[in-house]
Structure 1
Amino acid sequence: MTDAIPDSVLEFITVGEGPSARRIAVRRRTGEGPGLVWLGGFKSDMQGGKALALDGWAREHGRAVVRFDYSGHGESGGEFVDGTIGHWLEDSMAVFERFCAGPQVLIGSSMGGWMALLLAREIRKQQEKEQARASLAGLVLIAPAPDFTEELMWKNFPSSVKKEIETKGVWMRPSEYGDGSPYPITRNLIEEGRNHLLLGSAIDLGCPVRILQGAKDPDVPWQHAFALTHRLPADDVVLTMIQDGDHRLSRPQDIARILAAVAEIG
């Protein structure tokens, strides 16, 4: 695993209360705005290639950037098996409220794209109530996976897997990522995720959105990105289809495109 660039500061905050309290690891770099907020993917952490590339770009350009690990991920506390979309949104909101002020660009990868959209919606609600210290400069979404627990998992699971989740409460899903170990998909993850579905109605965030999607993505098909764009307002939403791109979009040319999108909005 690549070491973090040394001059980003590691801090911990506690999110939740009682038995649900968890320690969230945050790495941040001070600098000019608009600030950058990295929202990682399902079972990813803030030490991944894209997150470190963003941090390096922020250092070079004197920009403020915040990265963090959801509970049960990376350097944060808590167990992955206990995680839900709602829990991870709560983590995201707590980090944003604690460390962000002024205009911010949310950069979300895969599940982080869903988180970015949910977080943006919450920020907008706070702005309408004039309770927000920070505002939205825009979103950069990389292979975004809104509603993935329902649209990309549950609806595609065979009946045998659905039955195992319903009866045992968990199914160990085989993985081609990380160390290849199976990971738990819980009934709680699926059922709680239904509280946060976005693709059934319009998503008006009031800010520019840039989406980068690989046409050869086996995990989040390009049609999913199209479905998302149809829910966003037509003005200032750009979808870039990378014909030979996979789900990770971590090649040097992919990272260059991501950073160009961040620079364009910022």
Structure 2
Amino acid sequence: MHEAVHRAAPARSVRARHGRSGVLALTLLAGLAPSAKVRAQETVWDPIEPVNRAVFGFNMLADEWVLEPVARGYRYVAPEPVRRSVGNFLANLRSPVIFVNDLLQGERERAGITLGRLMINTTLGVFGLFDAASTFGYLPHDEDLGQTLGVWGAPPGPYIMLPLLGPSNVRDAFGRVGDWAIDPLNNCCIDTDERLGRLGGSAISEREANIEVIDDLKRNSLDFYATVRTIYAQRRAADIRNGAAPPPGGQENYEDIFKDEGTEP
């Protein structure tokens, strides 16, 4: 699990534009593509599915009426280098949370990489606008308290769809609260308006970065709710495994997931 810096975190690396703002259902699917390799481990426990579907419908309307149009407008007016720098800046702000969760998981080398990325990108990267750290081999990865609790052995609990926050489970919902408390920017450095601005900016940046991915998922799903539920569970399980191979006997890839949900890409 511990690797040299130049090989660190490829299995769980994320694009710099993929934070964890959690605003609206689909932003949490950042980085997921139909060709990504995952395997199912068990059926997702969804005891309040009717309620979850109602909340999902609300989230989809909010995405359709607000977030997606804003994200497409952002793409139209902002050149790609500008959008990339915005994403880099927002990702750099999340580094303290990732660092703490690296330590909580006992990942000393990964914690060192995160700290190195924060220092390099904040200085040479001009306050995080440029991902200079990757040039030196310090590749990005993401961590959150939900993953940490999973590494510690906490079960996910039932699946829940949170209003405006998207797919989750009981463990990850508690993790969100903990991450908010861990983040030093929330405790000493920014006020409520700035927090909301950061949250909204992250949501728009993530949504813009994944326009094509989300369009593809919608197009290839007969039951989009079930597809999102399955993909979320798959991704979180893969995150907690730290990129290790899943147990045998599961599904091979997203094509299999689409088949399970009643459609094929």
What TM-score bracket applies, with the shorter chain setting the length?
under 0.3
Higher normalized helix content (fraction of residues)? 2
Give the alignment's TM-score, normalised by structure 2. 0.27
Q: Which has the higher contact order (CA 8 A, sep 6+)?
A: 2
Question: Given the two structures, how large is their TM-score scaled by the length of structure 1?
Answer: 0.27
Structure with greater proportional strand content:
1
